[in-house]
Amino acid sequence: MKLFSFWRSLATHRVRIALNLKGIMPDEVAQVDLIKGEQRAAAFRAVNPMMAIPALIDGDGPLLFESLAIIEYLDETHPKPPLLPADPRGRARVRGLAQIVACDSHPLIVPRVREYLEHELKLDEATRLRWCRHWHIAALTALETHLNDSATGRYCHGDAITLADICLASQAAGSQYFSVDIAPFPNFKRIADELSAIDAFARAHPLKQPGAPGSH
């Protein structure tokens, strides 16, 4: 198994958590340096035409792409522990929470968007940060409202870890990138704190990866 990764990538952070929860160790982790723009190099474009990570090759392939699709693939091929509830309504809630992070919020703050704001629209750094914080906080606000529900337990959905918790952890890491205080979102913060104490989550954190500032 080969994972295309970079320490700072929040989408890859999600996949790393799922791999850890499933007890899967990729044979190879290929670094795609997003700061240097390696995602746009011809060699990687041939791997993933979206020029984004994560990407995963399991055995003979084909290439797996998009974090949520990869995580559901891992869940289907390695069912224990399950990352989705058994009931359709529960699965819909968990996928909905996950998609607020991975589909509604995160795509607005990825490097290609920030670089477009900078180079094409000529927005200065403070304005670009304002953009990122705005969309990040919009998702935090929606998540907090959804989590204020009897379906929430120790984690986002009951007392078992699900795909929604994986996405919540990546949103929490993003809060650090943009210096967003999560204290005004107490359900979100409580769950983020719980998750950060779990080994599979702690080991997957961006700042624990090779190349990250302060990592070894």
Ligand X SMILES: N[C@@H](CCC(=O)N[C@@H](CS)C(=O)NCC(=O)O)C(=O)O
Residue 45: in which H helix or E strand, if any? helix 42-45
* Residue 1 burial class via C-beta count within 10 angstroms: exposed 0-12, middle 13-18, buried 19 and up: middle
Q: Which is nearer to ligand X, 39 or 162 (CB)?
A: 39
Q: Which is nearer to ligand X, 41 or 142 (CB)?
A: 41
Q: Is 90 one of the binding residues for ligand X (CB under 6 A)? A: no
At 91, list the tokens.
């699965």
CB 69 to ligand X: min, Å: 8
Q: Which is nearer to ligand X, 52 or 57 (CB)?
A: 52
CB 95 to ligand X: min, Å: 13
CB 213 to ligand X: min, Å: 17
Considering only CA atoms, which of 113, 119, 3 is closest in space to residue 58?
Answer: 3
**Of residues 108-127, those binding ligand X (CB under 6 A):** 110-112
Considering only CA atoms, which of 210, 10, 182, 3 is closest in space to residue 108?
Answer: 10
Q: Which of 7, 21, 66, 97 binds ligand X (CB under 6 A)?
A: 66
Q: Is 34 one of the binding residues for ligand X (CB under 6 A)? A: yes
DSSP letter assigned to residue 104: I
E-state strands within the chain: 2-5, 28-31, 55-57, 63-65
CB 153 to ligand X: min, Å: 25
Residues binding ligand X (CB under 6 A): 9-11, 34, 39, 51-54, 66-67, 102, 107, 110-112
